[in-house]
Amino acid sequence: MTPHQQPTHHAGAAPAKKPEPKKGELAIGCGCLLLIVLAIVAAVAAVWPKDDEAKTPTAPYKIVRTEKGLFVAEVDRLPEGDGLRRIFDEIRRAHDDRDGDWHVWINCSTGGTAAADNRLATGRYAVGQLGAANTGLKAGEAEFEPVAGAKCPNGAKNDPRTVSEKYISAPRRKAFLSSLKAVDPVLAANPEKAWSRAASRCYSLYGGASAAEVLKATAAIYDGTVHHGRRASVPAGSPKALKIYKAIRKWICSSKPLQAHWKQLNRG
């Protein structure tokens, strides 16, 4: 065969074999495929509800009041475990389509008065940059705080919210309202509600709740107070919360008739 001649393929001859991938290349290819599969599984798992979440329904509740940036929900009994948080998260998911700061109050349908709700938990969340600017949270973030020691009473006898003016003297009420006004006038705009809330914190102290628990609950129960479109802000652990807590201890909790009333309500 001369240099210019091409090799002749005879009919029936087997085609040339393609080179097989080396072992290292094969391992790298399989490894990449495995990583892709694992990434897909992880992404699905992140959005798919866990078994316990799917099987545990949200406790029954109803939204009884809505205002600008506020949802008030009620339950007939205190949910078990993280039931209150589940309610908050469900309300949040259902109302996260408008920018702003949103507050959620969860109350017991019993145990409150016309002046004071039986608050079980409070929460807030920020939607968009407007919500972030108004709350100090990042957009999409949320805060949730159950009220320490709060519960749904079985009857009026165990209701620590039943407060009458006869249990808190006029000078004490006046001094307490003055202290609230110094923090934020909105907090004292509804006097009966203001000192009834204070009395409920005293009842927690009488019942053995720690000062730290009641301080947190104080912030939770006064934060978001609304009057004529104005909303008071009392963040947990803030100087405002501490001032209110000290005023409650000084002017309301030290009332002897109030202490006697609590003992009567909780007498076995």
Q: Is 241 helix (H, G, I), strand (E, B) or coil?
A: helix
Quote the tokens at residue 43. 């992404």
Residue 50 CB contacts under 8 Å (≥ 6 apart), including other chains: none
Q: Which residue has the tokens 């709060």?
A: 150
d(CA 253, CA 140): 39
The per-residue pLDDT for range 175-206, each reduced to its tens digit, is 999 999 999 999 998 887 787 788 888 888 88
- Higher pLDDT: 3 or 96? It is 96
Please report which confidence band the pLDDT of residue 52 belongs to, taking 50, 70 and 90 as the band edges.
Answer: very low
Q: What is the structure's pLDDT at 89?
A: 93
- Cβ atoms of 139 and 131 closer than 8 Å: yes
- The whole-number pLDDT of residue 203 equals 83
Q: What angle do CA 20, 25, 29 make, to 5 degrees?
A: 110
Stretch 72-76: mean pLDDT, rounded? Answer: 86
> Is the distance from CB of 223 to CB of 217 less than 8 angstroms?
no
CA pair distance 259, 153, nearest whole angstrom: 19
Cα 258 from Cα 262, distance rounded (Å) = 6
Amino acid letter, 218: T
Domain positions in the chain are 55-146, 163-265
Q: CA 232, CA 196: separation in Å to the nearest integer? A: 17
DSSP tag of 21:
P
Q: Is 27's pLDDT higher than 70?
A: no
